[in-house]
Amino acid sequence: MTRDEIANLLDGILDKELGNLDIPSASDWENIEKKFGCQFPSEFKFFIELMSEYSFPGDILNVSNGNTNGNDTIEFTYDYEIDTIVFFDRHGLVGESQRIATSFTDLLERLIKNKGQYWYWLRSDFISLGDAYDD
């Protein structure tokens, strides 16, 4: 998905943020990708960057270390939780971890198609994608 397509989706389901928040800088993205040893897909980066423009009813962890919504960063949360939380109760259970999309792009496309009216995976006509623990 393009940045504009994601923005159109968010426009339809969220209110605009009241303040001017910073988007993650190239350095912020470089640091987090280095920490986790990965490269985040462009759709994820677009989504996180656009969330600086929208008010979300919950927590969206930040990548930016600049002026943010006050939520912690992904990196801080990972560092904190990896040292303090026992994960035995955090993992999903086999048969109770429904897949709701095949990729981040698929998730956004499904949300756009549903026009934010209802959690599409709870609809009676949702076709199961299996369990997260399926082989």
Q: What is the pLDDT of residues 42-65, one digit of tens each?
A: 999 999 898 888 887 777 888 988
Q: How confident is the model at residue 93 (pLDDT cuts 50, 70, 90)?
A: low
Domain boundaries, the chain: 3-90, 97-135
Q: Given a cut of 70, is residue 41 above it in pLDDT?
A: yes
Sole residue written with tokens 């940045």 = 3
Torsion sign across C-alpha atoms 57, 124, 133, 42: negative
Q: Given a cut of 70, is residue 99 above it in pLDDT?
A: yes
Q: How confident is the model at residue 83 (pLDDT cuts 50, 70, 90)?
A: low
Give pTM, 2 decimals. 0.63
DSSP of 58-97: S---B--SSS-SSPPBHHHHHHHHHHH--GGGTSPPTTS-
Instruction: Give the model's pLDDT for residue 98.
Output: 81
Instruction: Give the model's pLDDT for residue 31.
Output: 93
Instruction: Give the model's pLDDT for residue 12.
Output: 85
Instruction: Give the model's pLDDT for residue 21.
Output: 86
Rg, the chain, Cα only: 16
Q: Given a cut of 80, is residue 13 above it in pLDDT?
A: yes
Q: Tell me what the mean pLDDT of segment 75-82 comes to.
A: 80
Q: How confident is the model at residue 116 (pLDDT cuts 50, 70, 90)?
A: low
For the chain, give the percent of residues with pLDDT over 70. Answer: 87
